[in-house]
């Protein structure tokens, strides 16, 4: 009587060959299963971390877009209380970029543009500053760097520098409201109305 194996003899041969390989290598099927399970746990941990990072990124983008639709971007204390500068607070600049998106100095037309970004960060982090004033000073600083570092004789370089300046300015102008409000929230102390 012939033994009937589902899928034919070639599958039986593959199973026997696999078992023999495990036996010869000194690894039991249980060792192999433990190894696969350990690898799967590591993969799932990395996947969870990746999903958390993605969720944080999407929440940040959502917050930036929600804040950017405000016609006027101004920091207001809750319950209408008055904002006052926090005693001893010093804003910490982080160069060009925010929320994990950072422009390296080498990617800017002139490395001195980074100091404009730092001044802009400090302005945002100065309690009672206005976003429009900070953004206006930022553009002036960027244009000044382009004029000083490029010179009027290099028209093409000057135009590309000014285009980069306008792009940085537009980013802060249209997408900077959340960064401004977050910086003001860190820099300002809000009095309760009943303390006035």
The CA distance from 138 to 171, in Å, is 11
For residue 34, pLDDT over 80 is answered with no
The one catalytic residue in 38, 135, 147, 182 is: 135
* Residue 108 phi, psi (nearest 5): -90, 150
- The chain-wide mean pLDDT, for the chain, equals 79
- pTM across the whole model: 0.63
194 is catalytic: no
What is the number of alpha carbons within 13 Å of residue 191 lying toward its C-beta? 8
List the chain domain ranges. 9-66, 73-195
For residue 191, pLDDT over 70 is answered with yes
- Answer with the residue of higher pLDDT: 106 or 187: 187
The one catalytic residue in 45, 104, 120, 133 is: 120
38 is catalytic: no
What pLDDT, on the 0 to 100 scale, is given for residue 10?
63
User: 6-15: string of b/e by CB count within 10 Å (b at 16+)?
Assistant: eeeeeeeeee
What CA–CA distances, in Å, run from 43 to 49, 55, 106, 183? Answer: 10, 18, 35, 37
The CA distance from 85 to 64, in Å, is 24
DSSP codes joined into one string, 20-68: HHHHHHT--HHHHHHHHHHHHHHHHHHHHHHHHHHHHHHHHHHHHHHHH
pLDDT, one tens digit per residue, over 76-98 is 998 788 899 999 999 999 988 87
pLDDT, one tens digit per residue, over 143-166 is 999 998 877 778 888 888 999 999
- Contact assessment for residue 75 and residue 188, using Cβ atoms and an 8 Å cutoff: yes
What pLDDT, on the 0 to 100 scale, is given for residue 5?
52
For residues 2-26, average pLDDT = 62
- Answer with the residue of higher pLDDT: 105 or 25: 105
Q: Where are the beta strands (DSSP E) in the chain?
A: 83-85, 97-98, 101-102, 188-190
């Amino acid at each position: 009587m012939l033994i009937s194996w589902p899928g034919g003899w070639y599958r039986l041969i593959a199973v026997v060959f696999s078992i023999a390989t495990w036996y010869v290598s000194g690894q039991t099927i249980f060792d192999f299963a433990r190894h696969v399970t350990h690898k799967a746990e590591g993969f799932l941990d990395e996947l969870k971390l990746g999903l958390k990072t993605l969720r944080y990124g999407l929440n940040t983008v959502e917050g930036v877009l929600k804040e950017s639709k405000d016609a006027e971007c101004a920091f207001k204390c809750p319950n209408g209380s008055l904002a006052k500068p926090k005693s001893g607070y010093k804003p910490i600049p982080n160069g060009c970029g925010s929320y994990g998106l950072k422009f390296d100095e080498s990617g800017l037309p002139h490395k001195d543009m980074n100091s404009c970004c730092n001044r802009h960060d400090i302005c945002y982090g100065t309690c009672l500053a206005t976003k429009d004033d900070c953004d206006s000073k930022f553009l002036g600083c960027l244009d000044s760097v382009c004029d000083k570092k490029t010179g009027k004789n290099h028209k093409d370089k000057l135009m590309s520098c000014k285009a980069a300046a306008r792009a940085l300015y537009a980013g802060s102008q249209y997408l900077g409201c959340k960064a401004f409000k977050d910086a003001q929230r860190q820099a300002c102390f809000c009095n309760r109305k009943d303390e006035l």
